[in-house]
Structure 1
Amino acid sequence: MYGGGGTLLVSGSGYGVPRYTNTDARMKDHFRENVRRMRQIQRQSREREADSHKPVKALWKSDKYSNIQSRIKDDIERVPSVPRPKSANFLRAHSRSGPSVPVMSRPCTPDVTEDKLTVPKASSSADIKLQRHNFDFIKINGITAKHAKIPRSPSLTALDDLKKKREEEYSRHKSGQVPSYLQNRKKQWKKDEEDRIANTPDPEMPPGHRKLPESERKQTLKLLLDKEQDLVDELSALPIRMDTFRIRSQKQEIEKKLIEIDEAKKIFSRPKVFVKVE
């Protein structure tokens, strides 16, 4: 760069040949640009101010609600109440433990005179006289140890009580006599065995039948014998001559009943009788 304000440019065609260019013409005029920008901002500001003075178009509102007062307006115009202090929410003494207790000021502690002191002063310790009693503690301890019971563990005590109880039961028991609880148990066993035998189904019993109890079988057999004797007596009372049809029919009916009773006697004379379950 030379003092004339030019710039030396080097090109590829020739080296060392100075070439001057005027750079001042290309410089930007910032002052003029700033003035232009300020005027533009002022113009925009005047336009916004002019637009702000224009009347705003009223919003559409229905005539139906023209006479109704706004609730928000009432809340805004209402005078705010004084806030409640936080201390008002604190719990008071004895507020949940019963009736209120009147707060009373505590009385001052009265002055205690020397005559009413329960603990003597340290300065009066020289006047205290010790009293000694001639106790024979060795003898007292010996007497106490002689009559004292030796503490035993609960398990040993329970074992001794059990032994005493068994000895008392053995002494009350009469030799050669079966206890009553064994006799009752034998009776119960016998009854259970009888019930088991009675309820055990007979292998000879056909399906759909039941075994007739022994008492009922004997009672039925006795009724059959009595009925047979009545029919025999009735048959013996008939006349010898069978001339009429009524007498012959009566004789045939009696003989038929005797045959049925004889068959029933054979059935109920068996040791086991099975009856069909209805």
Structure 2
Amino acid sequence: MCEGPSRISGPIPPDPTLCPDYYRRPASAQGRLEGTALKLDLLTSEPDLDAAPPRGPRIRPGAREILERSQRGVGDVLLQLGDISLGPGASPKRKDPKDHEKENLRRIREIQKRFREQEHSREQGQLRPLKALWRSPKYDKVESRLKAQLQEPDPASATEHAHFLRAHSRCGPGLPPPRVQLTPPGPKAKGSGLSVDFISHNAQAAKRAPRRHSHSLQALAQVLEQQRQAQEHYNATQKGHVPLYLLERRDMWRREAEARQHSQPDPDMPPGHTCMPENQRLETLNSLLQSQSQLLRELVLLPAGADSLRAQGHRVELDRKLVQVEEAIKIFSRPKVFVKMDA
């Protein structure tokens, strides 16, 4: 049963099971073409092996050189690049190393020679006068002070001898040391003469010379004396006394503490009450004491034998008032009195 037109446009390839050599790929393109032609004729007719002689492999012109290079290796080429040849040809001549020391010496000699020539030519040439410094014409008639000082005679030469030290000017009191005659120790001594006894002279001068103290010791003694006087003055006037500024500061601290204490609310004060001022409390207490003394006086002046109803009522009234006054005195005698605030 045919499903449609066939899409094969060429010959049908042979079955690989029947022709296995057909699918083997030749080594070259020409072999592939020849093999393809032979394989295509395989099914139609037998190949004619004697029809065309076999061709040899194609060789490039430089194949022999490549073969020799591969057999010889690349070491010879590398040595030739480094100016070392293993072949029969002579290696190129290398340059000797340059001697820099000789070159530097030669250069130094050339510079010295050139410098000497320049100096010689400069000495032989005509000397050039120096250029005069510029000077303002208004100072032409002004004389030099230095020149006038040099022309004047030196006054120090006339009085120079006045500053010389005189003999024995610094030997104690200024008396020259006595000269004593010394006898030679033996007959071999040559001559005899006068000599100065400096030892005895220095001893006498040391006895007569006043004793001097160094400035540092004198200054130290003065400082110690001033410190001693200052300590005595302090002990006499200030030691053991409290300074005035400390007393004033103590009073100020006391007033501040009292103010803080008065400003704080009293913890013993009940709610709804206020503390009575101290002056008001004292005034009330004094009035209560006066009332108590007056009531006691009235109670004492009552007649003892009065048994009337009116006298008894008056006595009872005085006793009641006296009890109230005593209770009030007890209350206002306390350091703090709290008064209920008005609603």
The TM-score with structure 2 as length reference comes to 0.30
| Bigger-Rg structure (1/2) | 2
The TM-score with structure 1 as length reference comes to 0.36
